[in-house]
Structure 1
Amino acid sequence: RQYLELELGRGALLVRERMDREALCELTPTCFLSLELVIEQPIEVYNVEVEVLDINDNAPRFPRQDYRLEISESAVPGARFHIESAQDPDVGTNSVQSYQLSPSRHFALDLKGFQSGDPPKSGTAQISVRVVDTNDNPPAFDRSTYTVSLLENAPPGTLVVKLNASDPDEGSNGDVIYSFGSYTPEKVRQLFSVDPHSGEVRVNGTLDYEEASSYEIYVQATDQGPVSMAGHCKVLVNIVDANDNVPEVVLTSLYSPVPEDAKAGTVVALMSVTDQDSGPNKQVSLRIPPGLPFTLNSFKNSYTLITQGKLDHEKAAAYNITVTATDSGSPPLSSQKVIHVEISDINDNPPHFEEPVYSVYIPENNPLGALLCTIKATDPDVAENAYVSYSLLDGEIEGLPVASYVSIKSDSGNMYAVRSFDYETLREFQVVVQAQDAGSPPLSSTVTVHIYVVDENDHAPQILYPTSTNTSAALEMIPRSAYAGYLVTKIIAIDGDSGQNAWLFFHLVQTSDPGLFRVELHTGEIRTTRKLGEDSTPTFNLTVEVRDNGEPPMSSSVAITVAVVDRVSKIIPDTRRHVRSPSNYSEITLYLIIALSAISFVFLFTIIGLTVIKCYRYSLYGDSCCAGFCGVRERCPADLYKQANNNIDARLPHGLKVQPHFIEVRGNGSLTKTYCYKACLTAGSGSDTFMFYNTCGPTGTTGPSAVMTERHLTGQSGQSAQNLIILKNDSITPNEPKHPNPDWRYSASLRAGMQRGELYNLTMIYAYSVLCIWRRQESCVADQEGLISSGQRFPVLLQVR
């Protein structure tokens, strides 16, 4: 690598690349770079040495960051331990000059190496000191003497005692090895053993209390230090006599099987017990598990097994009774003997049905011999006591024996239908089934079987109203004035089925005028969908089908002829059902007499008053039309006055207030001229009669505006009315409405009555007089539809004399 370069022009020696003194000269105190310079003309060679000076660019560094020192606990103060020095590649004052150890109460120290460079730098290493133990403590036992009791029948390997010796030293200085002491006899060494590591003393041979009642064992514990140290203890083993003979149970006699109805106290077995031990170890007691229907009675060394509770063969057909014999030794020894006792069955359980009540659903019209259900009963007894047979108890259904409806198979319990059931005749019934076993005596039980007949759609709907036959249809009438939605009739039908099979739906399947009638789907009401026209046909033929909701559905139909008439008579309610008791007749009669008397009196008084007033007016005004009534005295022609009083008397309804200039009377029929009269009603007058008192001259109105056809005013006699009453307003302002109200029309029933001439005698009419409020002297014309031009609707009382 070339660290220097020469600038030829100036002869300057320049540093070309950074130089690292430690890399060039390593640890030498001085560092030089040697080079040769050649000068031409003349040629001269010069040797140049460039010294690389050191700077403090490296910190001291220890070979390792962590040092571990092991110092014996027996080391004396001032002992030396070698630590590797720190290294610094710099030289001179820039190298390591001193070391410093940080103070610490523990055994973890920091060692720092310092230099004198500028700036000064340092390096650190951690020192961990471990104190090494020395074997300066002997092992020590917990106790100096251990006393142990041991049964004579303790098997080899039985733990006698576990010794524990501790040494506070560490490492091998604290490892303890156990062994027999030098004072232990050889016999003891054969009967016992000591584990060298755990200190467990165990039985190694066969002990015998009669041979030796106690043993002394000497044990020492030795550590594993360079210079071993030892501790000692003594183990005293006392041999205890053991209960080494188990009691024995001997079965003398056994009574089996035992009937399940055996009484309490019945002897089942006799037993005796023996034990080869002596003293307390020879005393033996017997016991059996709790919860058994047996107990033990003792007499010296003999025992009897007897019944205590009720036996049940169905719960337990046999018992394995474990008899346990236990002596009084310590620990006690026991032996067991199992005695097998069987329980014989008796017929003590009646058959039991699987269901408390049986419910059977059978569709109607079932075939003969159809399986209804299977009755199942079980008997917990065995053999013939558990054999169950089935039968039907005697009874009647609808007055007939049960056997005529159902039968049951005795061995399987299958119940069959003897006949085909009809839901409409018999919807449900019940039978009683008996199950009986074959025991002696036999036992039985019964169960009720409810049989429900399920409806099927086997009945078509029956139409009650209206009725039709194969040759004629039902007749219904509607008025020609029937409006849209008019109720023509209602189909009433029933279905002998039930449930969804009896849900009825009504359909219009055929009609002579499609779109004129409709049938409500659920109610069966036949209504019109629009208003009948004047040119409607007199009759309509309908066919209505009533269909049920069964599967498959069934239906019936009815043919209806709807006749269009001018008027339908109202149905007078039948009041014959509303009959009062005879005790109330006297009171009702009295009330009727009083009411009729009062009405007759008032009517008579009214007639007399009206007659007097009328006569008074005639005598007061003479031959004038209305002279003096309003303070205007104008003359009328006598013939016109006479004709007006002889032909027409017009009355306004009570309460209607009309201005005088609103009223005009025109003649028609025999009158050749139209006369105009003036009338006056006071604002506060309660009178509803206007009178004609003067003429105003002819109006000159002719043509359609002054003539009414006779078909509108034809009475029962066929004569035409002679006068038309027209109310007009000569002073209607331009701001008021100028068009007639088209909402007031004749009803269809009224037009029909007018044509038939049945309503002529009514005193309250709207259509026999053409009522209109005139605008600008315009005439009032009644159209063929019965339109009455009106701004206010009010009736006029018209009497023709």
Structure 2
Amino acid sequence: MVYSRRESPGSRRLLLSLLLLAAWEAGSGQLHYSVPEEAKHGTFVGRIAQDLGLELAELVPRLFRVASKGREDLLEVNLQNGVLFVNSRIDREELCGRSAECGIHLEVIVDRPLQVFHVEVEVKDVNDNPPSFSRQEQRLFILESRMPNSRFPVEGAADLDIGANAELRYKLNPNEYFDLEVKTNEEETNFLELVLKKTLDREETQEHRLLLIAVDGGKPELTGTVQLLINVLDANDNAPEFDKSVYNVRLLENTPSGTLVIKLNASDADEGINKEIAYFFSNLVPDDVKSKFILNSNSGEIKIKEELDYEDCNLYEINIDAVDRSTFPLTGHCKVVVRVLDVNDNPPEMAITSLFLPVKEDAPLSTVIALISVSDRDSGANGQVTCSLTPKVPFKLVSTFKNYYSLVLDSALDRESLSVYNVVVTARDRGSPSLWATASVSVEVADVNDNAPAFAQPEYTVFVKENNPPGCHIFTVSARDADAQENALVSYSLVERRVGERALSSYVSVHAESGKVYALQPLDHEELELLQFQVSARDAGVPPLGSNVTLQVFVLDENDNVPALLASRAGGSGGAVSELVPRSVGAGHVVTKVRAVDADSGYNAWLSYELQPAAGGARSPFRVGLYTGEISTTRALDEADAPLQRLLVLVKDHGEPALTATATVLVSLVESGQAPKSSSRASAGAADPKAALVDVNVYLIVAICAVSSLLVLTLLLYTALRCSAPPTEVACGPGKATLVCSSAVGSWSYSQQRRQRVCSGEGPPKTDLMAFSPSLPHGPSSADNVSLKNLSLTNFFLIL
């Protein structure tokens, strides 16, 4: 029984330390053994205990053990008999690689007392590894044009053994093309070369397979093999060859273009690019033959490029070269003979000369436009030709001589209807079947100035806000001329006339090329509400033609006038108004009326009145009508009221932004006996409200009838004028007069009478009137009736 004791690395380090401390009592020894690699388990190596002088009985008590660096399980000691034997497989190549010397170092340790012995076990090589190649197959590519004695390196084999077991020799299987030559280089390693014995022929053998054998020097010998696969590369040593040297082809002369004439086929015994063939016309082929035929260089197909004509040539000899695509190409040759067979295939031919173009659209009838000559290369009926034109063209053909025609004008031309005529002339022979030919003549019609510039509509309505900046663009006129070139080049100008005392050109101008109309100065609605003028458009033809368009420019009102105060009974315009009021008057007594006008129109002239709060915040006993301007009492006056009341009335229009003016009214409170007679009369009038109301109604009815009659007459006259004028399309036009009411509850308001000048350049200025409809307040008092009477009379006279 074999006793073996293994210790941990920590125990070994402790033992080594003890060895250093007890080196004085440690013994030493050196043994050397040898063992072949691959020895079986239990193979005897040596009697290690006996050789070290140890008694077998002492091995166990003295803790006999063996330690080795690296693998510890390769060798083991039988403690029963002290024999060192092989414990596991020993592979020298794995243990030492290709090192010439290989051994296992053992340390034998015994205790009590401590002794250390060194044992070296040499591992001897055996021939257990055959030669091996890195690949199972080696492929070589050799050009067939390589000369004999050419050499080609071959990768050798490797043997993991050493010494004679790794000494290799090589053998090559017998063949007629290659030998093997082995050389030794400076590192004493073998260098293998294949030596070419005779020239290769790829066309005969494309591939050679050789077996390379490597044999080592061991006993017994071991071998390794590798397959050598030699591919013979092609060399361009064969020229292309055709099946025939001469090819004969017959074709009808009316064979269409693109028809296949013949497909050539040349072959080449080479391979790869040396076998690829391209076909070309020989240098011997003239250019006129190349113009008739086309050769596909890849497929060898010869096709007709242009139609053949027996009358021109009835025999073509075409020399063809077949060239391979090698770097140093070889060429094969053949000839293709094409015989053309005659048929009746000649259509008529036409020639158009002496073109008198372009033709003016006012050219007289029978004007000669072109001369046409026809011919046919055939004979007899096949050569007799007649000509005709496409229908529905203003031209005709006139025969002037045999096979000669004139193209003449047959009806009037209009370039604006059609500017170019494509006239097709057809020539047809009398063959059976007949052949024909066509020729196209593009007849261009030249323009004459026969169209005046035309506007899209005869009149335009333009709206411009007053106070415009000088030079602003207000409109663009555009006229179209159906003619061409300079006959259609339109320029614009104003039709000059007087506008009142000033020239039209002082108000507006027009750009000659673009037709843009500009206002040269700011326009004033209060001075000029309508500016009517004409713009002329004239082309550049000779003589020039022109037309006019009317522009109606309405000047729209803007809020640019401040309300103006009118003169009153007690003060001048813009000054303070003084009124005497008895302290005994009651609520609703009309003290006075503030009158103002606005030079603007519409909402810009719609005025409202506001009473500014008194200084100190005291509540005033007076109020002002929002739209009437009447100042009246809000309550009965008493002694606490100041004897002098200063009222500030703010007059404001409804423009954006609103403009304002102020009026100052001084009201003196007096006793009843000190009131003026006028006040008494007013009080007396207030005492009789029915009589005042009757007077107001009479005047109001008269005023309304007069205004209504004038308005109806104006509308009838305007409608008659508009109906008699030609219809126009305008973006927007002057609308009907709008009656503007002051508010939802209604009140009186009026605008200043003014005569608005509407200038069209013809006739006297016209009168424009705009009135605001009144709306009576709810529950008028007697004082209000008197004021209403005065206001109605005032409005009536202002309107008239």
TM range (shorter): 0.3 to 0.5
TM-score by length of 2: 0.39
The structure whose Rg is larger is 1
